[in-house]
Chain A
Amino acid sequence: MAGYRLPRGGGRIDRSRGIRFSFDGASVGAFAGDTVASALLASGRTLVARSFKYHRPRGVFTAGSEEPNALVTLGAGGNTEPNAKATIVDAAEGLVVRSQNAWPSLGADIGAAGGLLSPFFAAGFYYKTFIGPYRGAWMLYEPFIRRAAGLGRASFEPDRDRYETGHVFCDVLVVGGGPAGLAAALEAADAGARVILCDDNIGVGGALDLEDGIQGQSVADWLFATISALRAFPNFQLLTRTSVYGYYDGNILGAVEQIPAPADAGSRTRQRHWRIQARRVVLATGALERPFVFPGNDTPGVMLGTAGLAYARRYGVAVGREVVVFTNNDSGWTQAAALSRAGIQVRAVVDPRTAVPGRPAAELSEAGAEFLSGHVVTAANGGKALSSVRIEVYDASTGHISGAARDMRCDSLLVSAGWNPLVHLASQAGGPPVYDEQLAAFLPGEPREAWRAVGAMAGTFGADDAAAEGRIAGAAAARELGFELPGKESSGRAAATEGKRRNADNLLPLFEIPAEGKAFVDLQNDVTASDVRLARQEGFESVEHLKRYTTLGMAADQGKTSNLNGLAILAAARKMPVPAVGTTRFRAPYNPISLGALAGRARGGHFQPLRRMPLHDWHVKAGADMMNVGLWQRPRAYLWERETLEHAYVREARAVRQSVGITDVSTLGKIDVQGPDAATFLDRVYTNTFSTLAVGKARYGLMLREDGFLFDDGTTWRLADTRYLMTTTTANAALVMQHLEMLLAIAWPELRVSLASLTDHWAGIAVSGPNSRALLERVVDDIDVSDAALPVLAVRAGQLSGFRVLVARLSFSGERAYEVYCGADYAHAVWERLLASGKDLEVVPYGLEALGTLRIEKGHITGSEIDGRTTVHDVGLDKMFSMKKDFVGKPLALRPALTDPGRKQLVGLKPLDGKAVLNGAHLVAGADPKQPGRSQGHVTSMCYSPAVDGYIALALVERGRARHGETLHAADPLRGGHGAIEIVDPCFFDRDGSRMHG
Chain B
Amino acid sequence: MLIPCPICGERDHGEFTYGGDATIERPDIADRDAARWAAYVYDRGNPRGPHSEYWHHVHGCRLWMVVTRDTQTHAVGETRLVGFWAGAETR
Contact = CB atoms under 8 A, between A and B. Distances in A.
Interface stretch (A371-379, A384-392, A406-414, A739-747): A739-747
B17 interface: yes
A892 B27 CA distance: 12
Contact of B56 (A250, A742, A895): A742
A840 interface: no
A738 interface: yes
Given A738-B56, A746-B64, A895 B34 contact: yes
A749 B86 contact: yes
Interface in A863-909: 886-888, 890-892, 894-895
A744 B29 CA distance: 13
B56 A749 contact: no
Contacts of A748: 29
B84 to A, nearest CB: 6
B68 to A, nearest CB: 15
Contacts of B56: 738, 741-742
A272 B66 CA distance: 37
B72 to A, nearest CB: 10
Given A746-B54, A746-B64, A892 B29 contact: no
A746 B82 contact: yes
A707 B40 CA distance: 10
Contact of B1 (A250, A741, A745, A894): A250
A684 interface: yes
Contacts of A892: 34, 37-38, 41
A646 interface: no
B84 A744 contact: yes
A249 B73 contact: yes
B74 A749 contact: no
Contacts of A738: 17, 56, 58
A268 interface: no
A890 B34 CA distance: 9
B44 interface: no
A816 B41 CA distance: 42
Contacts of B33: 891
B86 A886 contact: no
B2 interface: yes
Contacts of B32: 886, 890-891
Categorize the interface residue count of chain A. Answer: 20 to 34
B17 A747 contact: no
Contacts of B31: 891
A746 B83 CA distance: 6
Nearest to B35: A891
Contact of A745 (B30, B58, B63): B63
Interface string B22-57: 000010011111100110111000000000001010
A706 interface: yes
Contacts of B38: 892, 895
A448 interface: yes
Given A738-B17, A891-B33, A891-B34, A747 B41 contact: no
Interface in B57-91: 58, 62-64, 73-74, 82-84, 86
B73 A741 contact: no
B86 to A, nearest CB: 7
Nearest to A275: B12
A249 B1 contact: yes
Contacts of B42: 707
Interface in A701-749: 706-707, 738, 741-742, 744-749
A741 B34 contact: no
A891 B32 CA distance: 5
B28 to A, nearest CB: 9
Interface string B1-25: 1100000000000000101000000
A249 B74 contact: yes
A749 B26 contact: no
Nearest to B40: A706
B84 A891 contact: no
Interface of A: 249-250, 448, 684, 706-707, 738, 741-742, 744-749, 886-888, 890-892, 894-895
23 contacts: A249-B1, A249-B74, A448-B73, A684-B29, A706-B40, A738-B56, A741-B64, A742-B54, A742-B56, A744-B84, A745-B82, A745-B84, A746-B26, A746-B83, A748-B29, A749-B83, A886-B32, A887-B29, A888-B29, A891-B34, A892-B41, A894-B34, A895-B38
Report the 5 A-B pairs with minimum CB-CB distance, sorted nearest first: A745-B83, A745-B64, A249-B74, A891-B37, A749-B83
